[in-house]
């Protein structure tokens, strides 16, 4: 469990273990002191960078990621495998393992219970980092068999999380745990409480993981590919469960997925990632209806539901290695709109406004949009 206080269970520091803990102001790319947050702002991520040490030097798996998440909203991070979605979510909880480290940026949680918390500035042995992990912020991992302990009964794991983050006797925590199992749709929760993870089906295990994540009544719920290993029917049930719980509890959700169908069903806002950077962001309805970045357009063209009578249009090529990121726009070798001398060299295109509530990182976004607009 990520919230465990036992020293043997504590994860190594997210920063370079050879270096002493540093304040966020000492990190590269650290932003200036933020302005006062809006009342509904829950999470702000500014210029986040995650690096990994290699024999060729440090490579950036996440580079310059910035976004905000407001209370009661669902933000989806989407993109191909290897684009940095899951690493971004792990960085929010300071769970990056060596040789990886948070190389720069600021992660700020604006908690109603604990006030403003600069997560990047917390020491690894500080009590507040354990109040954040599994307390203010909880995570639903994509593989429940690795998220749950195989040698402890599932009910006992939920009881431990409740007692760690709430004031409750063991008997009270047991009652709350049974109620949580019932709330997430586990049949016969009193009997399931005493079972081990291997005795449950995949769908039931994922429901237990959701109950575990809700044990502390979190303000932010991170769902990392929560339906990857489930059949279609169970996927729909789990997605409906998460959406219903989010609505009932009023928490915000950060949804990590590569499935745009899930995004359309679940999200309010969406950020599209490619090679560790956000290339487009906006409301889900506007972005899916009028994608402006060529990468987002390619993802949508590859969906079977949008090509019912014709051949799918895959994105050519493959995501390059982090040690061989192309200069200029990293997507230009795969982009049908790439322009020699403009897209393949120089600076990386930055996110810039493109209409109300939309930002796009493409040198040719206006030209591409004008060419697609009927005369």
Using the structure block, give the residue that is written with the tokens 């191909």. Answer: 80
Q: Which helix (H) or strand (E) holds 269?
A: strand 269-274
In a domain, 213, yes or no: no
In a domain, 346, yes or no: yes
The pLDDT tens digits of the residues spanning 21-60 come to 333 333 444 444 554 567 799 999 999 999 999 998 999 9
Distance CA 364, CA 343 (A): 9
What pLDDT does residue 27 have? 40
In a domain, 175, yes or no: no
Provide the greatest CA pair distance for the chain: 70
In a domain, 245, yes or no: no
CA distances from 293 to 257, 315, 324, 354 (A): 18, 13, 22, 10
As a whole number, the mean pLDDT across the chain is 87
The pLDDT tens digits of the residues spanning 201-227 come to 989 999 999 999 999 899 999 999 988
The percent of residues in the chain predicted with pLDDT above 90, rounded, is 65
The pLDDT tens digits of the residues spanning 117-157 come to 999 999 888 888 989 998 999 999 888 888 999 999 999 99
Q: Which helix (H) or strand (E) holds 371?
A: helix 365-372
The CATH number linked to 93 is 3.40.50.300
Full domain range(s) for residue 2? 1-125+269-305+320-375
In a domain, 76, yes or no: yes
SS3 state of residue 50: strand
In a domain, 19, yes or no: yes
Look at residue 6 and tell me whether its pLDDT is greater than 90. no
In a domain, 289, yes or no: yes
What pLDDT does residue 313 have? 82
Strand partners, 102: 50
Instruction: Please tell me the pTM assigned to this model.
Output: 0.85
Give the ranges where 51-92 is alpha helix by DSSP (H): 85-92
In a domain, 182, yes or no: no
What pLDDT does residue 306 have? 58
Distance CA 166, CA 145 (A): 25
Q: Which two tokens stand for residue 322?
A: 């982090």
Reported as a pLDDT band with limits 50, 70 and 90, residue 307 is: low
Look at residue 308 and tell me whether its pLDDT is greater than 70. no
Q: Which helix (H) or strand (E) holds 38?
A: none
Structural domains of the chain, count: 1
Q: Which helix (H) or strand (E) holds 270?
A: strand 269-274
Give me Rg for the CA atoms of the chain. Answer: 21
Distance CA 329, CA 242 (A): 36
């Amino acid at each position: 469990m990520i919230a465990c206080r036992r020293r043997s269970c504590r994860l190594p520091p997210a920063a370079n273990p050879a270096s002493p803990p540093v304040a966020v102001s000492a990190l590269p790319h650290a932003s200036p002191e933020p302005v006062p947050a809006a009342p509904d702002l829950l999470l702000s991520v500014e210029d986040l960078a995650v690096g990994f040490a290699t024999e060729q030097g440090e490579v950036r798996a996440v580079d310059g990621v910035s976004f905000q998440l407001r209370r009661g909203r669902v933000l989806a991070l989407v993109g191909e495998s290897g684009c940095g979605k899951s690493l971004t979510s792990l960085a929010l909880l300071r769970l990056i393992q060596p040789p990886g480290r948070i190389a720069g940026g600021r992660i700020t949680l604006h908690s109603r219970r604990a006030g403003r918390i600069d997560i990047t500035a917390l020491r690894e042995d500080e009590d507040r980092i354990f109040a954040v992990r599994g307390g203010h912020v909880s995570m639903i991992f994509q593989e429940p068999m690795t998220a749950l302990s195989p040698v402890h009964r599932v009910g006992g794991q939920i009881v431990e999380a409740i007692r760690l983050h709430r004031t409750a006797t063991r008997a009270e925590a047991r009652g709350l745990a049974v109620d949580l199992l019932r709330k997430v749709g586990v049949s016969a929760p009193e009997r399931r409480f005493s079972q081990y993870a291997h005795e449950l089906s995949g769908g039931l295990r994922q429901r237990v993981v959701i109950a575990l994540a809700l044990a502390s009544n979190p303000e932010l719920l991170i769902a990392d590919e929560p339906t990857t290993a489930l059949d279609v029917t169970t996927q729909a049930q789990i997605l409906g469960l998460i959406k219903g719980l989010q609505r009932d509890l009023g928490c915000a959700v950060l949804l990590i997925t590569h499935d745009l169908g899930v995004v359309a069903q679940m999200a309010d806002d969406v950020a599209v990632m490619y090679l560790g950077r956000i290339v487009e962001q906006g409301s889900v309805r506007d972005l899916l209806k009028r994608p402006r970045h060529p990468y987002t357009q390619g993802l949508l063209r590859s969906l079977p539901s949008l090509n019912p009578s014709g051949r799918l249009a895959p994105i050519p090529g493959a995501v390059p290695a982090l040690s061989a990121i192309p200069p200029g726009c990293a997507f230009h070798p795969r982009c049908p709109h790439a322009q020699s001398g403009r897209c393949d060299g120089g600076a990386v295109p930055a996110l810039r406004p493109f209409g109300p509530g939309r930002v796009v990182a493409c040198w040719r976004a206006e030209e591409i949009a004008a060419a697609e607009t009927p005369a």
